[in-house]
Amino acid sequence: MAKKEGKTRLFENDVTITGKHATHLKFLVNDAKLYNDYIDVYMNAAVFGYMYSKKDDRDNESTDRARIYADAFSNHRTECVFLFRLITLLDDESITTEERLDRAFRYDANPEKEEELQKCIEKFNAYVRGGIEYMYNLFTTGCTSRDDYIRATFEATRNYKDSIDGVSYEEKIKRLLNRN
Shared domain check, 179 and 117 = no
* Backbone dihedral angles phi then psi of residue 17, each to the nearest 5 degrees: -95, 135
CA angle 77, 134, 101 (to 5 degrees): 45
My answer on whether 166 and 127 are in the same domain is no
At 36-59, the pLDDT tens digits run 999 999 999 999 999 889 999 999
Beta strand residue intervals within the chain, DSSP E: 2-4, 7-9, 15-18, 65-68
Domain containing 35: what range?
2-141
Question: Do residue 31 and residue 65 come from a single domain?
Answer: yes
103 and 46 together in one domain = yes
CB-CB contact of 61 with 100 (8 Å):
no
Whether 84 and 19 map to the same domain: the answer is: yes
The answer to whether residues 38 and 111 belong to one domain is yes
Q: Is the pLDDT of residue 168 over 70?
A: no
73-113 pLDDT, tens digit per residue, is 999 999 999 999 999 999 987 888 899 899 999 999 899 99
In 3D space, the residue among 136, 98, 108 whose CA is nearest the CA of residue 20 turns out to be: 136
Q: What is the tally of structural domains in the chain?
A: 2
